[in-house]
Structure formats: structure tokens, C-alpha cells
Amino acid sequence: MNTAKATAAPVQVKIGGKNMLLSPLRDVDWGEYEEWMRQRYLDLYRAETQKEEPALRTELMKHAYDQASLLSLTHPRAVELMMSLDGATQLTWMGLRIRQPEVTYEQTYKAMLDEKTYELLFAKFDDINLVPKAKAAKRAATKRAQAKRRTKSSIARKSTTGSRTGTSGVRKSSAK
């Protein structure tokens, strides 16, 4: 790990011609985002069920609360939301406001409407945060790489000692 990552150093980004600092999210920010995500899910569900009969709406909202309680940062629906304009804007704004508390969600949203800005900011955000799913994928890739190295070194050890062992791996007697 390099010093920038170890110290959670922000990266410089340009938004609307203005230089800003985009900081990695802290644990409290991830918790806030997770709660925002649940509320966003419930708000969308409320809007969709607005015209339903009261009894049916109550049942549907119970189901929505159950589903919202299951959302975590690695849940497929959560990952979809992170990739949406709303989710990406929320995450980016949270990273910007750490160093620039005056930046608003609306300003960030307006900047994210530009496709190039969206791609740049989201890539920078991803680089400095390695979102949980990416962390899990990176850990899995690291474990696979370590397992390959162990296998290769085990094969290499066997091949260097091959002249002293038979095909069964049992040491041959050196006395003739």
C-alpha cells in the first residue's frame, strides 16, 4: 500500500473549471450512504405504490421495508444503484464535501450530467475508494495469485529434487 492510500489522501479533480479535492470515503460515510440507499429504495417504492388501495399499499410497503433491510453495499441492487446517476452523484458528493463542505448535491449532480465528467469523477472515486465489491474481488484475486505462487514453488521444489525421488515422490536410496 502506498502512502497516499494509507493516509486517505484526496485527489484533485476539476469540476466546472474549478479545482476540487475528492477524498476517499470514511467508514461513517459508507454507513451514511448505505442508509441513503435504503431510504432511496423506500422513496421509489412509495412513489410507485401511491395509487394503490390502502390495504394493498400497506402490504407492498411491508415487503419494501423487508427488502430495504437486506440492502448492503455488496447487494446486487446496491451495486446497481451505485452505478446509477443518483448513486454515483451521492457517492461523489460525499467525497467532495469532506474537503469542500460548501459543495452541494445539486452542484455535483449538475456536473455529473456531463458524461465525460461523470466517467472521470466515478473513475477517480473508484480509484481512491476501491468500493467494497472491488475490495472483495481484489482479495479473491490476491488469494488466487498466492495459491498459484505456492503451487508453482511447490512444483519447482519437486523438479529440483526430482533426481533424488522416484515418480511416487519417495526418496530413492543413494547407496548402490
| Three-state secondary-structure class, residue 98 | coil
Tell me the pLDDT of the chain (176 aa) as tens digits: 677 777 778 999 988 889 999 999 999 999 999 999 999 999 988 999 999 999 999 999 999 999 899 888 888 888 888 889 999 999 999 999 999 999 999 999 999 999 999 999 988 998 888 755 555 555 555 566 666 666 655 565 555 555 444 444 444 444 44
In a domain, 174, yes or no: no
**Do 118 and 141 have their domain in common?**
no
Cα 48 to Cα 42, 45, 53, 84, 176: the distances in Å are: 10, 5, 12, 18, 86
In a domain, 171, yes or no: no
How many domains does one find in the chain? Answer: 2
**Do 69 and 156 have their domain in common?**
no
Contacts of 108 (CB under 8 A, 6+ apart): 15, 89, 92, 93, 96
Domain of residue 46, residue span: 3-129
Q: Are 160 and 171 in contact (CB under 8 A)?
A: no
Going 149 to 155 to 158 to 163, the CA torsion angle's sign is negative
- Of 35, 46, 32, which is closest to residue 71 (Cα–Cα)? 35
Identity at 115, one-letter amino acid code: E
Distance CA 63, CA 45 (A): 10
Distance CA 42, CA 76 (A): 16
Q: Which cell goes with 176?
A: 548402490
**Do 27 and 48 have their domain in common?**
yes
**Do 7 and 46 have their domain in common?**
yes
**Do 59 and 140 have their domain in common?**
no
Going 90 to 96 to 99 to 102, the CA torsion angle's sign is negative
Output the pTM of the full model.
Answer: 0.68
Q: Which cell goes with 91?
A: 457517492
Q: Are 91 and 82 in contact (CB under 8 A)?
A: yes
**Do 99 and 140 have their domain in common?**
no
**Do 101 and 150 have their domain in common?**
no
**Do 17 and 55 have their domain in common?**
yes
